[in-house]
Structure 1
Amino acid sequence: MSNIFLLIAFTSFIFALLLTRQSQDFSRKIIRNSLGLHDKKQSHLHFYFHDIVSGRNPTAVRVASAAITNTSSTYFGAIVMMDDPLTEGPEPSSKQVGRAQGIYASASLSELAFLMVLNYAFTEGEYNGSTLSILGRNPPLAAMREMPVLGGTGVFRFARGYAQAQTHSIDYNTGDAVVEYNVYVHH
């Protein structure tokens, strides 16, 4: 008799759970076309990045450093916040197409190499209002550097690709630099 009672109680409990169950699902399958993924494009963007650390209106400023930063040959531990203009040409007066906004930090004890964490926020043309996100290693003294594009917003939603950086010019007295970028992105 007690086994029948336990069976009825257990069955009633399971039935009650099924009736009062609320959805615990936090994910669902989606159709690629509903997100605009049926027409992937390849784009090549070319622009210049102006990192201005001197003067009355710098676009990149050191916001933190370590105890050893100023005695380190690589400035290890320096963290710089930036809001650098992106332009069509290398001249500062060239048409601005966006901003490079984020952080770079000196992350190597043995050579000058930055950890770059930034967004290219575009303000012109078909990319106006869209962004690309970059996260990677940038040794600025190397002739060519490559960093991954990890994603984006707007027309660059679900973006993947890479950015190649090449120093166009640097003023060793002020530290100001102009860097040429070629960005190849699948979006």
Structure 2
Amino acid sequence: MGKRIGIVGFSLYLCITFALGEYYSKTRPFTPKQEVVTKLHFFFHDTLTSPNASAVLIAKPTLTGGDNSSSPSPFGSLFAVDDPLTVGPDPKSEKIGNARGMYVSSGKHAPTLTMYIDFGFTSGKFNGSSFSVFSRNTIMEKEREAAVVGGRGRFRMARGAALLNTYSVNLTNGDAIVEYHVTLYHY
């Protein structure tokens, strides 16, 4: 019984000490960082065919006709991507980064992708920085827009929009080159 009273007493002592204790800190006035606007222009190379595929099918539907479809990305298909980003439309032009993530074919009647992709830069002044897109991509429209939902490195807390313009596409195998014009607002 004595041990129990001792433990309860010590616990009560700690609680009172913390409750009556004061917290000291230095208060500084808030100075918001200046928002920065960055405009980027690059090309995204999505290759679905072997031997150099940069987008691979990781799951396909069995109930939606995915097995019988002639499309390279039938409704319900899930792809993992590691697509190169270059300064020009030629796949051999200077590589500046990778687009890594996934997309799912989410259009039942019109070819549409829902994509989550992190655009990471591996050279230049944005080396080590990235921004993320989570948006619908209506791939049969020549021009479309995707939402930028975040970033890291120099693009910390990024928001904005990516304007996508199909540069070229091979409908037989699904390979595409997409031009990106991105406007980022970040701190």
Aligned residues: 165
Q: Equivalents in 1 of 2:124, 2:165: separation in Å? A: 24
Q: Equivalents in 2 of 1:184, 1:31: separation in Å? A: 31
1:64 to 2:62 alignment: no
Q: Equivalents in 1 of 2:143, 2:170: separation in Å? A: 18
Paired residue for 1:45?
40
CA distances 1:3-26 after superposition (whole Å, capped 9, x unpaired): xxxxxxxxxx988634256xxxxx
Normalised to the residue count of structure 1, the TM-score between the two structures is: 0.80
Q: 1:31–1:128: structure 2 CA closer, same or farther, 3 Å change rule?
A: farther
Note the 1:5-154 alignment, pairs <5 A: 17-20=15-18, 33=31, 38-67=33-62, 68=64, 69-71=66-68, 75-154=74-153
Q: Equivalents in 2 of 1:186, 1:126: separation in Å? A: 17
CA distances 1:81-127 after superposition (whole Å, capped 9, x unpaired): 00000000000110011100000101121211100101001011110
For the residue of structure 1 that corresponds to 2:56, the secondary structure is strand
**CA shift for structure 1 position 145:** 1.3
For the residue of structure 2 that corresponds to 1:70, the secondary structure is coil
**Paired residue type of 1:17:** C
Query: What is the RMSD computed on CA atoms of the aligned residues?
Result: 2.3
**CA shift for structure 1 position 32:** 5.9
Q: Equivalents in 2 of 1:148, 1:185: separation in Å? A: 10
Can you give the 5+ residue segments of structure 2 that lack an aligned partner in the other structure?
1-10, 20-26
Q: 1:32–1:98: structure 2 CA closer, same or farther, 3 Å change rule?
A: farther
Instruction: Tell me the percent identity.
Output: 36
**CA shift for structure 1 position 70:** 2.8
For the residue of structure 1 that corresponds to 2:34, the secondary structure is coil
Q: Equivalents in 2 of 1:172, 1:110: separation in Å? A: 17
Superposed structure 1 runs of 4+ greater than 4 Å apart: 13-16, 29-33
**CA shift for structure 1 position 132:** 0.3
Q: 1:32–1:81: structure 2 CA closer, same or farther, 3 Å change rule?
A: farther
**Paired residue type of 1:66:** P
Kept in 2: contact 1:32–1:38 (CA 8 A): no
Can you give the 5+ residue segments of structure 1 that lack an aligned partner in the other structure?
1-12, 22-28
Q: Equivalents in 2 of 1:43, 1:113: separation in Å? A: 28
